[in-house]
């Protein structure tokens, strides 16, 4: 009986112990955040405004309400200041809560891959890709801007926090605490905006990358059939494009004439000149747009003929592809210049004061502004059209390589490369390298000088060789005379060759006094010893005191045979 009672007592004690231990292990409920006191802000005071919106919103309202009540306890001169800061804090908190409601927009979904794509499908994908890249670039700019804003907000918060730590009690500390709440809420807004913008930028970048891959797939799966291909329509489009190019060329010539005959003596005349110059730029870009559209139509026609195996002229196609490549290169080189000139025009228009301008002058300024803005739009359109042309050129190259075979394609690439090198060299011939006075010297001029000097040297060498062969059978005295004639002929031909070569690039040697003066300056400054030696050599040639083949011995003991004079 006693044993049973003891067992029951032990079991009861163990149950109490286990129950107590279990109760001790139960997690405690999280403590309710404590509303911060501006005069005594703790390290984690901002945690009061963190959490789900349905919990933070009533805390925010209660905090602002209590602050509004506490303002009445401030000195009269501080109450207006505190109310202004409180209004800003309230706006910040409302904006922060609104940002928490922003839902992240999902990226557009690509359509399923198709078994084949048309040229129109390819160009639509390219346009969509350009838009996606532009959106991604714009979002990245926003991210970079918001990073700078956040850095500024953090620096401002740190500065206000230092002021709060150093502030004394009373109204000053309370107001500094309110400013700290304002700075911290502004920092939270910027941080939230940066997070949202970063996600959007990454989303747009991923979408653009996906479109890039889809565009490559579409390029590799380009196809057409005789039923879907419109050869007649493409031919008509090419003819229409040529007519548009001719019309654009006429507009360009008219713009050039209009820009060349202006009165620059008045302010309005100079403004009119700027307008005509901008119209000239617009006409140049308009011509480039027309030529790009024509090249696109021609490329699409060539691609269709190759795919349908209509026996295209591959030689003519090689010339066309080279012309397209050179056109694209020319546009890419001119585009920065067009942008720079148009940007300068816009800056010039913005600096013009409209005060005191008459009606005609104001209308002229408005025309300049509208023309410059239209030019920027044309430049943007031209960039997109050139990108489409490059895509079509790549498609044409792909089907041409498949049509002609690997070896023929390799030969075509080599031929195109050689032609490209020739074009580059020809372009360098027209590039001004330097100027001599008022005479510009281009690469072609340098080449012409080298060719003339080479011809003069070869002519001199041929004459000397003929004289030497003629003198081999003559006496020693006659050989010496013939040698003198050969050397003099050499100098005469080279001197005349130099004069002819330099005259060919525009240098004027008709003024002999000028030439003599230049020679005298050169001789006096550093060529005196060279000229003395040259004249001494001529004297030796004429006097025949030394001849080729003579054995001589100098005072220094040096001996040798004369080889040439």
Average of pLDDT values for 169-187? 92
Radius of gyration of the chain from its Cα atoms, rounded to whole angstroms: 44
Phi–psi pair at 169, nearest 5 degrees:
-75, -175
Alpha-carbon span 545 to 534, nearest angstrom: 16
* pLDDT range class, residue 195, cuts 50, 70, 90: very high
Q: What is the pTM of this model?
A: 0.67
The stretches of 167-230 forming alpha helices (DSSP H) are 171-220
Check pLDDT > 50 for residue 134: yes
Phi–psi pair at 524, nearest 5 degrees:
-70, -30
Within 10 angstroms of residue 189's Cβ, the number of other Cβ atoms is: 20
Q: Which residues contact 71 (CB under 8 A, 6 or more apart)?
A: 79, 82, 83, 86
Average of pLDDT values for 13-27? 45
Predicted pLDDT of residue 392: 93
Alpha-carbon span 488 to 486, nearest angstrom: 5
Does residue 135 contact residue 210 with C-beta atoms inside 8 Å?
no
Predicted pLDDT of residue 545: 64
Does residue 82 contact residue 177 with C-beta atoms inside 8 Å?
no
Reported as a single tens digit per residue, the pLDDT across 300-313 is 999 988 888 887 78
Check pLDDT > 90 for residue 268: no
What does pLDDT average to over the chain? 81
Angle between helices 443-471 and 406-429 (to 10 degrees): 90
Residue 392 CA to its chain's centroid (Å)? 22
- CA angle 387/423/379 to nearest 5° reads 30
Reported as a single tens digit per residue, the pLDDT across 492-541 is 888 888 888 878 777 666 555 555 555 565 555 555 666 666 667 767 66
* pLDDT range class, residue 360, cuts 50, 70, 90: confident
Burial class (CB in 10 A: 0-12, 13-18, 19+), 335: middle
Closest CA to 395 of 291, 319, 321, 330: 321
């Amino acid at each position: 009986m006693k044993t049973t009672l003891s067992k029951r007592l032990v079991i009861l004690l163990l149950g109490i112990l286990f129950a107590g231990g279990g109760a001790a292990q139960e997690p405690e409920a999280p403590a309710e955040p404590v509303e911060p006191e501006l005069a005594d802000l703790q390290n984690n005071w901002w945690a009061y405004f963190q959490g789900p919106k349905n919990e933070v919103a009533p805390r925010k309202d209660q905090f602002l309400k209590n602050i509004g009540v506490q303002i009445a306890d401030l000195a009269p001169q501080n109450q207006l200041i505190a109310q202004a800061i409180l209004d800003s804090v309230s706006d910040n908190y409302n904006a922060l809560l609104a940002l928490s409601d922003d839902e992240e927009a999902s990226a557009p979904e690509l359509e399923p891959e198709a078994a084949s794509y048309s040229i129109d499908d390819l160009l639509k994908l390219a346009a969509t890709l350009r838009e996606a890249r532009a959106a991604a670039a714009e979002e990245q700019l926003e991210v970079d801007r918001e990073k700078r804003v956040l850095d500024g907000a953090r620096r401002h918060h740190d500065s206000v926090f230092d002021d709060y730590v150093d502030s004394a009690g009373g109204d000053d500390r309370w107001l500094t605490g309110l400013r700290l709440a304002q700075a911290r809420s502004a920092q939270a807004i910027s941080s939230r905006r940066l997070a949202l913008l970063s996600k959007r930028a990454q989303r747009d970048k991923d979408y653009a990358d996906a479109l890039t891959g889809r565009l490559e797939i579409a390029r590799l799966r380009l196809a057409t059939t005789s039923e879907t291909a419109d050869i007649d329509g493409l031919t008509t489009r090419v003819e229409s494009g040529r007519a548009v190019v001719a019309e654009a060329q006429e507009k360009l010539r008219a713009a050039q004439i209009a820009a060349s005959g202006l009165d620059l003596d008045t302010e309005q005349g100079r403004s009119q000149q700027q307008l005509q110059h901008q119209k000239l730029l617009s006409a140049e870009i308009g011509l480039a747009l027309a030529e790009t559209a024509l090249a696109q139509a021609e490329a699409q026609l060539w691609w269709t003929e190759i795919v349908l195996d209509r026996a295209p002229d591959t030689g003519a196609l090689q010339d066309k592809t080279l012309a397209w490549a050179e056109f694209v290169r020319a546009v890419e080189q001119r585009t920065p210049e067009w942008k720079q000139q148009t940007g300068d025009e816009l800056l010039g228009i913005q600096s013009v004061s409209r005060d005191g301008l008459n009606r005609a002058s104001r209308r002229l300024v408005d025309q300049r502004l509208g023309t410059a803005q239209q030019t920027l739009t044309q430049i943007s359109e031209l960039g997109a059209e050139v990108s489409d042309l490059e895509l079509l050129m790549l498609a044409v190259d792909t089907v041409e390589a498949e049509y002609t075979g690997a070896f023929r394609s390799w030969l075509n690439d080599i031929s195109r490369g050689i032609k490209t090198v020739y074009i580059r060299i020809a372009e360098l011939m027209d590039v001004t390298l330097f100027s001599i006075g008022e005479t510009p010297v281009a690469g072609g001029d340098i080449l012409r000088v080298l060719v003339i000097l080479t011809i003069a040297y070869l002519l001199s060498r041929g004459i000397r060789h003929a004289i030497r062969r003629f003198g081999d059978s003559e006496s020693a005295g006659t050989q010496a005379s013939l040698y003198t004639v050969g050397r003099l002929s050499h100098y005469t031909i080279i001197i005349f060759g130099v004069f002819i070569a330099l005259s060919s690039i525009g240098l004027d040697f008709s003024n002999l006094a000028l030439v003599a003066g230049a020679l005298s300056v050169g001789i006096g400054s550093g060529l005196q010893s060279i000229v003395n030696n040259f004249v001494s050599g001529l004297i030796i040639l004429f006097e025949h005191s030394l001849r080729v083949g003579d054995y001589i011995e100098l005072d220094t003991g040096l001996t040798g045979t004369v080889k040439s004079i």
